[in-house]
Chain A
């Protein structure tokens, strides 16, 4: 564990390598009016994705999506928002990926079909080719959502494309770029946007297993407002019951994310407040195995978890 001083030093080094020339202190940074000229450009590309993460990013509350796109980042390309299209759009992407248009971060939503490159094509070229080329010129990459961080649903057991995460793709290509993983199916908008603000104003956020510690250091279960119900063994026994959802298969004990304190959709609600078991959408093993269903107790012979089966003592350090 590094202390704050070392962290800032490290952040300064890394920030310098991104080309962010001025690095204010954390407090100054929070107060500093952002200089738009210093804000990195963002090229957002989609692989085997459902666009759910992009849609989630539009649900941002404070700052809202318009501020994020124009003030805190410069979203120079996003297939869902860009006015440009066709060859003009390909030219814009090419200008960045070739390095001619200057500094940029790459954001990637979706997995990469390693075993079948034709299963994801942008402008007659496999998506994978863009990633390989970008690795030489980008300041860093942000993997947006569980498909990009761990393969997610397209990589579920039995898939035909050998879908892989961005990290795994670069590993197999023997490339080692700066990567930030932001899991979630979909991501929470804050997790992505505030990581970007951190990059711009402070530098690289502290990462654990490649994920920002700010959001992913503790398990849903530890932070859960129903943890008391768990300790008292007040369990929901059927769908729609209140109480701890553990016996219905809640994966809060396996999932690192701050949903219980952050809530979703501008603080309106979150899964467990709606009595819906956490399905572990930010977990590396999300939906990975056929024999590990989201819910228990609905088919004969289903395993019933017991509280003692879970070590709830500590989060990630």
Chain B
């Protein structure tokens, strides 16, 4: 039977999944990106310095990642020498955005796949906010409301966590995380100007000076976030894993892993990074080569040529193209399907022994959960890799503040060159993010973005190879084929952002 489980909620944007289910097992899945804007077209002819502003509007969840990728691309195009402080401020802004994004993803976007909201009705503890929420749910369910306790109910049918205490703790943290995510965003806004959509990020640094007033506020806010990560976020993931251990083995993508590396240690973009870049394919790591990326459009709604490199990129929308089912293109690395995101970032680093802390954390939690590093390619693996990333990034950000020289420059000086080109590569929270800018006559001649969810939620490519999410869904057993909470859990583990994927 064919079942459309879209629109899938609790993710960014417009995603549908068309599945074929036989004997309660998904045998085929198609991922459909359903919203198109065309950034790469309307960026042409604009001032190059508009780019880090406009590309932030690709995504309001991870705008800073786009600002940073665009800044890197422009720095390369302008041949900029970036002051050490400028790079540190970029890192402080981007790193804090990752912490916000991981918390939002686990609590607001994923937790309701596992946590039983109705457990709150049994609460009789002292917490005022939980009590208020309980009374609200009670009033809602008693008031003949058409959809009581929306948006938290109704929900898909399936098994939820059984232990009342664990559920209530998770719900308490759902509420608390909303306060903590604000702290991460306040921290990034100190140097970004505001969140979402920072105005203070530029190629070569940012416009806010790193004085003690700002640095001490930043440290205090990040310390509070770090505390929550250790005391609540990590234990909550382990609690979910304790009740749903089968999800260490559900939702494996069947391709390679790609990471562009995150948070450089020095002002030069080829400095070592906190998370190393690399391609992991059949247990072998290779260096990233941007020219090995091609974007297929056989099943994407574009009439422009298929298989173009990033530098050649073209975009001609064709909404009624026969056979096409998605606005997302199908990027492939050397023709291979790639998963990007937290699991890719951690695995690529782990297999290179780049960051000892990552190796230690992976081994520690694999031991606790009784899994191997290979199981990070799974629903729970992706959740755990976000939490490990959060731990590593929070520590790094606090250390990074100590490397600021408050007397030194924090912003490069420059004029826009008449012509130039450059790649900018980083990791958004959702994975590998690449921007490319080509400037001629002081204007943007070409701008291309290859974005994390473009990889993960891609449709089939010219060789009919399904995308990473499509492969991860196939073979999944679903109790209720009409609703498929199991498939929803897999989709959510990728943290799709469709505004990013299509842009």
Contacts and interface: CB of A to CB of B under 8 A. Distances in A.
Interface of A: 36-37, 46-56, 58-59, 61, 64-66, 69-71, 74-90, 92, 95-96, 100-102, 113, 116, 118-124, 152-154, 156-161, 163, 185-186, 238-240, 264-266, 268-271, 273-279, 281, 287, 290, 293-295, 298-300
B5 A85 contact: yes
Given A36-B136, A268-B190, 15 more contacts: A76-B151, A83-B152, A84-B156, A86-B484, A89-B9, A100-B146, A118-B320, A122-B34, A159-B41, A186-B196, A268-B217, A269-B208, A274-B190, A293-B47, A298-B416
Interface in B438-471: 442
Contacts of A113: 36
A266 B184 CA distance: 12
A74 B150 contact: yes
B35 interface: yes
B184 to A, nearest CB: 10
A122 B7 contact: yes
Contacts of B179: 64
Given A85-B10, A274-B193, A293-B47, A154 B37 contact: yes
A101 to B, nearest CB: 4
5 contacts: A55-B196, A58-B181, A83-B112, A92-B147, A161-B36
A271 B150 contact: no
A178 to B, nearest CB: 22
Nearest to B10: A80
Interface in B288-320: 301, 317, 319-320
B9 A79 contact: yes
Contact of B35 (A37, A90, A119): A119
B34 A65 contact: no
A225 B151 CA distance: 41
A83 B317 CA distance: 33
A89 B11 CA distance: 14
B207 interface: yes
A56 to B, nearest CB: 6
Given A76-B151, A156-B54, A51 B13 contact: yes
Given A36-B139, A59-B182, A276-B207, A84 B442 contact: no
A70 B152 CA distance: 10
A159 B112 CA distance: 37
Nearest to B145: A74
A88 B483 contact: yes
A95 B37 contact: no
A61 B103 CA distance: 18
Given A48-B37, A119-B327, A269 B146 contact: no
A79 B498 CA distance: 12
Contacts of B136: 36, 70-71
A114 B422 CA distance: 34
Given A266-B182, A275-B208, A290-B45, A123 B193 contact: no
Nearest to B190: A269
Among B5, B11, B34: residue with most chain A CB under 10 A: B34
B154 interface: yes
A163 to B, nearest CB: 7
Contacts of A37: 143
A88 B154 contact: yes
Contacts of B6: 86, 123-124
B205 to A, nearest CB: 7
A50 B42 CA distance: 16
